[in-house]
C-alpha cells in the first residue's frame, strides 16, 4: 500500500480522498492556492503546500508547481481527484518521469478517450454502438454547418476535448448555427485549450446513463453497474441515482457488457466511466442506447455507486495504484437498494441560477445522511472555483424511499447569506414525474415553472414569517400581533409591514427562524428569506430606469459586441462575462443608444460594476 499521497485538487474532492487515505494509514498532502489556505481540506491533510494565487491556471492547473510540491514534501504518489488534471495525459506522464505513482488512468487511455471524435472511431472499431454525427477533421464553419444540415436539426455541437457540459450547445435551426458554433469554440478554447468540435444528432427524449468500470494491472476488468444522470441543467448534472429507473436485466446486461468492451479496447486501468445516451421515448431498450464518451477518472457522482455496492472506490483506486488486484470479482458485486445524490450549489435559481458568493455566516447541512462537503460554517465561497457547497447522498431500500429521503434532506438545508439551490432540488425530486421515473435531460427545463422558486415568497408566507420573526410591541398596532395563537385562528385584523408592504398575519409555517448578522431569516423547505429592507440591485438584464448594465457577479469580460454611440435593440447582445466556469450574455434592457461602455475584452470586473449604460430611444 502507498505510504504518502499528494492530492492535486481542492474542496470536497480533496476531503473525500483524504478521508479514505487516512483510514488506510496513508500520509496526506494538500496543495492549495493562497485564497484556499484556511479551507477545511487544507486543515485536514497531514501537510499542505501553497502553490500560487487564486486563478486555477496559476495554481491547481500548474503541473510544474504540483510536482515541485510533491518533491518538497516527499510524496510517493499523486492523486488528481476527479477534475482539473485527472484527464491530462501529459501531466500523468510527467508524474511518472518524476518517479512518482500516478493514481489514475494510463496516459495512453486518457489520450485514446480524451478526444471525442477519436474515441468514437475507436468504439466503432470495437463494436460499441455510437450516436450518428460528424467526426471529421475539416473544422471550417461552412463544413460544420453543412454536416449539421445533413444530420438534421436539432443537433449538438460538442468540444472534441470537452467535458462537464463545457463547449456544448444545442442548435435547433440553421440560422442559429454560426453564433452557437462561435460560442462553443470560444468556451472550448478557454476551458481545454482546444477549440475543435464535433456534431451529433440531438436525441429529443435523451437519458444520460453511465457505467462505472474498474480495471487493474493484472488484466481484470469489472463494472459496478449503472448510474442515471439525466437530471441536468445546461448539461450540468444536478441529481444522480443508481441504478437507472426502468432498466431491466437484459438491457443492463447489454449496457454493462458494452462498457466493459469499451474499457478493454483501450487497455484501461483504474476507475473510469463509460457514458451512454439513451433514446427513452419508448422506454430503455438495448438497441437505442449509444456510446457518448468515456471519462478516464472517478466521477463526482461516484458515491451513489458506493452506496448500492458497499464499496469504497477511492480505496479501490489506491489499491490498484499500489499494484494490487481488484478487491472484488464481477460475481461478488451486486446491487443493494437505491441511492441518489443531489449537488448543493451556491447559486440563485430565482435569478437565472447565477452563482452566489460570500462568507457562509450560517451553514446547517442535514444530519443522518452522507454529506460530502467542500466548506464549513464561516468559510468563503469565492468566484474562482466551482460553486458546489456539498453533495447530499441518500440510500434506501427502494427508489421511492430514496427520493423521499433526498427531498427531506434538501428541505432541511440552511445556508445564509449565500443563496443555494436546495429548495429547487427538493421541489425537483418531489415532482410527480420524477417520482414515477419520468426523467430525461429536458426535465428541469420542462418543469421550470413548477420547481424554480419565485424571486419573492407569496403574501401568505411573508405574513406568516413576519408573525414569527417580528417583535411584539403592544404600543404599536402594526406589531401587536394579538391574534397569533398556536391553538386558535389568527386575528386577521392585525397586519404587519414587511419590505414596505402590508400583509395580514397568518399561522406560522413549519420552518426555522434565525437571527443572523442582525437579519431575521426564515428557512423553509430549503429556501431562505431575510425579512429586512433589501438593497435594490440590477442584474444587468432588467429594464433599469437609468439603463445601467451591471455585472451580476465578479468575472472576466471575454467578448464585447457593443460600441459607444451605436444604437441597440432590447435583448441585443452587448458583451459576454465569464464567471465560475460559465458564460453570461449581457443584453440591452431596452431599445436605445450605448452612451457609456466601461470595459473591453479581458477586463476583470467586480459584482455590480457598471459595464455599460443604455439611453432609451425617444
Give tens-digit pLDDT for 561-594.
999 999 999 888 899 888 766 677 888 889 999 9
Confidence at 476, pLDDT banded by 50, 70, 90: very low
Q: Give residue 538's pLDDT.
A: 40
Q: Give residue 248's pLDDT.
A: 94
Contact 227, 324 (CB under 8 A): no
In which residue ranges of the chain is CATH 3.30.470.20 found?
206-451
Of 381, 419, 415, 416, which Cα lies nearest the Cα of 554?
A: 381
Q: Give residue 165's pLDDT.
A: 74
Which grid coordinates are listed for 74? 516527499
The CATH number of 206-451 is which of 3.30.470.20, 1.10.540.10, 3.30.1490.100, 3.40.50.720?
3.30.470.20
In which residue ranges of the chain is CATH 2.40.50.100 found?
548-616
With 0-12 / 13-18 / 19 or more C-beta atoms within 10 angstroms meaning exposed / middle / buried, residue 534 is exposed
Span 237-262, average pLDDT: 95
| Residue with grid cell 415553472, as numbered in its chain | 449
Q: Give residue 350's pLDDT.
A: 87
| Residue with grid cell 440591452, as numbered in its chain | 588
Span 71-86, average pLDDT: 94
CATH topology of domain 548-616: OB fold (Dihydrolipoamide Acetyltransferase, E2P) (2.40.50)
In which residue ranges of the chain is CATH 3.30.1490.20 found?
133-201
Give the integer Cα–Cα distance in Å for 254 and 27: 41
Give the integer Cα–Cα distance in Å for 99 and 85: 18
Q: Give residue 39's pLDDT.
A: 97
Which grid coordinates are listed for 146? 453543412
Span 128-157, average pLDDT: 90
Span 69-87, average pLDDT: 94
| Residue with grid cell 429594464, as numbered in its chain | 543
- 151-189 burial string, b = 16+ CB within 10 Å, else e? beeebbbbbbbbbebbbbbbbeeeeebeebbebbbbbbe
What confidence tens digit (pLDDT) does each residue in 199-219 have? 988 888 899 999 999 999 999
In which residue ranges of the chain is CATH 3.40.50.20 found?
4-103
**297 classed as catalytic:** yes
Q: What is the mean pLDDT of the chain?
A: 87
Identity of the highest mean pLDDT range in 75-79, 295-299, 383-387, 523-527: 75-79
Confidence at 288, pLDDT banded by 50, 70, 90: confident
Point out the catalytic residue in the list 15, 169, 196, 297: 297
What confidence tens digit (pLDDT) does each residue in 503-556 have? 333 444 556 788 888 778 888 889 988 764 433 444 444 444 578 898 887 888
Lowest mean pLDDT: which of 177-186, 421-430, 501-510? 501-510
Give the integer Cα–Cα distance in Å for 275 and 465: 46
Q: Give residue 204's pLDDT.
A: 80
Confidence at 454, pLDDT banded by 50, 70, 90: confident
Share of the chain above pLDDT 90, in %: 63
Q: Give residue 303's pLDDT.
A: 98
Give the integer Cα–Cα distance in Å for 205 and 194: 30
Q: Give residue 515's pLDDT.
A: 85
Confidence at 66, pLDDT banded by 50, 70, 90: very high
CA distances from 531 to 346, 420, 499, 516 (A): 20, 17, 7, 11
Question: Is 608 a residue whose pLDDT tops 60?
Answer: yes
Question: Is 485 a residue whose pLDDT tops 70?
Answer: no
Contact 604, 579 (CB under 8 A): no
Question: Is 132 a residue whose pLDDT tops 90?
Answer: no
Question: The dihedral of CA 592, 597, 600, 603: what is its sign?
Answer: negative
Cα first-last separation, the chain:
75
Span 307-331, average pLDDT: 98
Q: Give residue 468's pLDDT.
A: 57
Q: What is the DSSP letter of 89?
A: H
CATH class (in words) of the domain with range 133-201: alpha beta
Give the integer Cα–Cα distance in Å for 43 and 57: 23
Q: Give residue 504's pLDDT.
A: 39
Backbone angles phi, psi at 496, to 5 degrees: -130, 150
CATH assignment, 4-103: 3.40.50.20
Confidence at 458, pLDDT banded by 50, 70, 90: low
Give, for 294, the enclosing helix (H) or strand (E): strand 289-295
What confidence tens digit (pLDDT) does each residue in 424-449 have? 999 999 999 999 999 999 999 999 99
What confidence tens digit (pLDDT) does each residue in 324-361 have? 999 999 999 999 999 999 999 999 998 888 889 999 99
Give the integer Cα–Cα distance in Å for 561 and 233: 27
Question: Is 87 a residue whose pLDDT tops 50?
Answer: yes
Q: How many other β-carbons are positioned within 10 Å of the β-carbon of residue 52?
A: 18
Q: pTM for the full model?
A: 0.76
* Cα-based angle 163, 88, 353 (whole degrees, multiple of 5): 30
Share of the chain above pLDDT 70, in %: 88
Paired with 347 in beta bridges are 355
Confidence at 495, pLDDT banded by 50, 70, 90: very low
Backbone angles phi, psi at 142, to 5 degrees: -65, -45
Amino acid at each position: 500500500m502507498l505510504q504518502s499521497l499528494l492530492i492535486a485538487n481542492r474542496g470536497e474532492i480533496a476531503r473525500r480522498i483524504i478521508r479514505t487515505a487516512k483510514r488506510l494509514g496513508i500520509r496526506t498532502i494538500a496543495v492549495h492556492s493562497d485564497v484556499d489556505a484556511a479551507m477545511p481540506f487544507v486543515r485536514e491533510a497531514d501537510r499542505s503546500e501553497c502553490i500560487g494565487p487564486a486563478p486555477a491556471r496559476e495554481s491547481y492547473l500548474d503541473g510544474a508547481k504540483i510536482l515541485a510540491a510533491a518533491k518538497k514534501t516527499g510524496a510517493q504518489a499523486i492523486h488528481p481527484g476527479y477534475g482539473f488534471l485527472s484527464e491530462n495525459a501529459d501531466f500523468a506522464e510527467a508524474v511518472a518521469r518524476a518517479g512518482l505513482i500516478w493514481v489514475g488512468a494510463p496516459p495512453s487511455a486518457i489520450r485514446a478517450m480524451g478526444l471525442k471524435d477519436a474515441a468514437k472511431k475507436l468504439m466503432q472499431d470495437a463494436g460499441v454502438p455510437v450516436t450518428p454525427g460528424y467526426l471529421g477533421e475539416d473544422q471550417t464553419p461552412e463544413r460544420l454547418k453543412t454536416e449539421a444540415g445533413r444530420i438534421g436539426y436539432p443537433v449538438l455541437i460538442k468540444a472534441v476535448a470537452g467535458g462537464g457540459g463545457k463547449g456544448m450547445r444545442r442548435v435547433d435551426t440553421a440560422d442559429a448555427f454560426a453564433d452557437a458554433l462561435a460560442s462553443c469554440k470560444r468556451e472550448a478554447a478557454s476551458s481545454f485549450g482546444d477549440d475543435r468540435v464535433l456534431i451529433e444528432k440531438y436525441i429529443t427524449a435523451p437519458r444520460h446513463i453511465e457505467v462505472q468500470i474498474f480495471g487493474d494491472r493484472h488484466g481484470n476488468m469489472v463494472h459496478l453497474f449503472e448510474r442515471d444522470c439525466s437530471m441536468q441543467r445546461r448539461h450540468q448534472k444536478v441529481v444522480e441515482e443508481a441504478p437507472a429507473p426502468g432498466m431491466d436485466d437484459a438491457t443492463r446486461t447489454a449496457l454493462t457488457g458494452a462498457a466493459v468492451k469499451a474499457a478493454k479496447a483501450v487497455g484501461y486501468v483504474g476507475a473510469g466511466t463509460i457514458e451512454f445516451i439513451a433514446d427513452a421515448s419508448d422506454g430503455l431498450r438495448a438497441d437505442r442506447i449509444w456510446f457518448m464518451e468515456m471519462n478516464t477518472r472517478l466521477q463526482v457522482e461516484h458515491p451513489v455507486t458506493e452506496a448500492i455496492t458497499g464499496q469504497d472506490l477511492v480505496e479501490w483506486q489506491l489499491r490498484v495504484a499500489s499494484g494490487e488486484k481488484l478487491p472484488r470479482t464481477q460475481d461478488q458485486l451486486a446491487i443493494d437498494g437505491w441511492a441518489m445524490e443531489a449537488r448543493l450549489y451556491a447559486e440563485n435559481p430565482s435569478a437565472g441560477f447565477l452563482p452566489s458568493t460570500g462568507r457562509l455566516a450560517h451553514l446547517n447541512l442535514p444530519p443522518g445522511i452522507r454529506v460530502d462537503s467542500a466548506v464549513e460554517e464561516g468559510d468563503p465561497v469565492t468566484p474562482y472555483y466551482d460553486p458546489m457547497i456539498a453533495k447530499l447522498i441518500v440510500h434506501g431500500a427502494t427508489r421511492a424511499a430514496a427520493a423521499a429521503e433526498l427531498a427531506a434532506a434538501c428541505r432541511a438545508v440552511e445556508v445564509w447569506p449565500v443563496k443555494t439551490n436546495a429548495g429547487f432540488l427538493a421541489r425537483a425530486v418531489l415532482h410527480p414525474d420524477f417520482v414515477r421515473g419520468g426523467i430525461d435531460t429536458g426535465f428541469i427545463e420542462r418543469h421550470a415553472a413548477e420547481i424554480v422558486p419565485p424571486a419573492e415568497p407569496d403574501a401568505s408566507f411573508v405574513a406568516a414569517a413576519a408573525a414569527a420573526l417580528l417583535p411584539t410591541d403592544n404600543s404599536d398596532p402594526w406589531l401587536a400581533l394579538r391574534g397569533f395563537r398556536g391553538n386558535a385562528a389568527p386575528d386577521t385584523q392585525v397586519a404587519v409591514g414587511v419590505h414596505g408592504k402590508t400583509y395580514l398575519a397568518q399561522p406560522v409555517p413549519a420552518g426555522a427562524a434565525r437571527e443572523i448578522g442582525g437579519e431575521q431569516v426564515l428557512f423553509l423547505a430549503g429556501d431562505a428569506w431575510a425579512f429586512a429592507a433589501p438593497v435594490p440591485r440590477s442584474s444587468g438584464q432588467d429594464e433599469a430606469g437609468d439603463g445601467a448594465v451591471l455585472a451580476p457577479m465578479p468575472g472576466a469580460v471575454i467578448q464585447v459586441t457593443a460600441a459607444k454611440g451605436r444604437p441597440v435593440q432590447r435583448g441585443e447582445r452587448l458583451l459576454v462575462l465569464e464567471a465560475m466556469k460559465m458564460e453570461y450574455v449581457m443584453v440591452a434592457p431596452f431599445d436605445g443608444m450605448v452612451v457609456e461602455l466601461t470595459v473591453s475584452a479581458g477586463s476583470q470586473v467586480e459584482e455590480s460594476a457598471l459595464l455599460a449604460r443604455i439611453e432609451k430611444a425617444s
